[in-house]
Structure 1
């Protein structure tokens, strides 16, 4: 069975919900504590054994490429000043030479189109898809849990799901639940943004996927879906007609960092798990709430 070696990161979005902060800076470079969103997600992928990182970018996203490159002047300055810890952190966060690729989406045509733009870089092998807007706080990371489950299932397609209030399912893609195997289960169907009374469950698709390369064949001839965009969910529904799909109930807490409240909550949650700042930060929170 093949190994999950490659991951796709769609980073071409404009980040309009965070203007004016994202006027000149990609939303993926907004920091949760002291690491950009995209660094958190790449770290999750590396823990899961990903060897090649494919970024689907757009205009004004060059700083992401710079972030995952060596900064010679900075490193020399840190070394000359004896800042060994910071230098070591930079080195540990850097993917290896030749392990990153960048391709342009060129037009905001939807998540399905962004995935299709990575087709030649992925080739004929299964791959992971991680949405940088979604942070998952868990140990091991969400994708590591999924890769282990994918191995146990013997391959196929696997999507991360989580339970939400049934009254809110109309904002998400929802899956039907079939035969269960541990934390995984067969998906009997997918519905995009159903009315609560028509939803097959209260399990929504989260921003982590393992997909077979057959998804590219479907995206070669896409139909526009919700919002007039090419939706990955629509392509997955078609792929389900011929290939197995499973859902995976991962362990962890998710934060929608595409929203201001979710982004702020992520900063608090990730700060509170950092032993170097947790005691002082907890006291600051207590003082603010007093």
Structure 2
């Protein structure tokens, strides 16, 4: 069974300051929903029913957003605003459970994932980074397709995207040997390197914030020493899994990726999603045409 996804939300959001000074960066809006809601809806659409937020103090707005607000609902109901009432009542998709655990110190993505170990137990699980927002079509729902590849191949999956060579040092980079999977396809991984120099990069296939991992990763994380940035890196545990003979596949995404953890990416996501939203598309298109 694959039904649990870990979403680390304990970061400070320094790349979008001052907007994230008092508001969690995951609560910044893309059109009419915070980024975190888009990500949770993506997880639910792919069949995940348990969302585990790895959080910290000062981020209660995330949990509040997915909770009921009886006062607001009463006001909307009394005014006959049924569409808005449905929107605020359904921030958490039906059938989905939200659980929070605390990360007491920022020690890297690997440490954040490890904070949820007791909730994962011996089950395979997914990890989704809330900064990364994927805009796909009905034919290209990448996380759903990656889950299907996991079930079909009985192998963990790591979503990747080809990036320009001058950007490889920003990402975890995977090695698939001579094979480069086409969009929507998977290929066996042989190695992964965290933020390599271009000369040391095995490819230009960058990890883009979606993982389906075997339970064994949690055991490896317990013994993973600090790596790049003096943090416990998830990629180091993945490399250890491959070194001991474990199997993983790189899944090449087909949709469009927006890094909402920086200002340019957040603006781009608002434009892309705004051009699809029925309440904003026409006015936004007209505005852009005048620029």
State the shift of 1:267 in Å. 0.6
Conserved 8 A contact 1:160-1:205:
yes
Residue of structure 2 equivalent to 1:86: 84
Give the superposition deviation at 1:12: 0.3
**Does 1:153 pair with 2:156?**
no
Partner of 1:239: 241
Q: Is the 8 A contact 1:68 1:95 kept in 2?
A: no
Q: Distance in 2 between matches of 1:142 and 1:39?
A: 17
Flag the 1:89–1:236 CA change in 2: closer, same or farther, 3 A. same
Aligned equivalent of 1:177: 176
**Which residue of 213, 217, 220 maps to 2:219?**
217
Q: Secondary structure at the match of 2:67?
A: coil
Between the aligned partners of 1:215 and 1:201, the Cα distance in structure 2 is 23
Q: 2:111·2:221 contact (CA, 8 Å) conserved in 1?
A: yes
Aligned-residue offset at 1:142 = 2.4
Cα contact 1:145–1:250 (8 A) shared by 2: no
Give the TM-score normalised by the residue count of structure 2: 0.94
User: Per-residue deviation at 1:167?
Assistant: 2.4
> Is the Cα contact below 8 Å between 2:126 and 2:212 reproduced in 1?
yes
1:57 alignment partner in structure 2: 55
Aligned-partner Cα distance in 1 for 2:242–2:211: 14
C-alpha RMSD of matched pairs (Å): 1.6
Q: How big is each residue's C-alpha offset from its partner over 1:2-37, in whole Å with a ceiling of 9 and x where there is no partner?
A: x21011110000111222211111000000111001
Corresponding residue of 2:203:
201
Question: Would you say the 8 A contact 1:29–1:64 is kept in 2?
Answer: yes
TM-score, normalised via structure 1 length: 0.94
Query: Hey, what does 1:191 align to over in structure 2?
Result: 193
The Cα offsets for residues 169-192 of structure 1, whole Å up to 9 and x where unpaired, read as 122111111466971000121122
| Matching of residue 75 in structure 1 with residue 73 in structure 2 | yes
Structure 2 residues without counterparts, runs of 5 or longer: none
Displacement after TM superposition at 1:259 (Å): 1.1
Q: Between Structure 1 and Structure 2, how many residues are aligned?
A: 285
SS, match of residue 240 in structure 1:
helix
* From 266, 283, 288, the counterpart of 2:286: 283
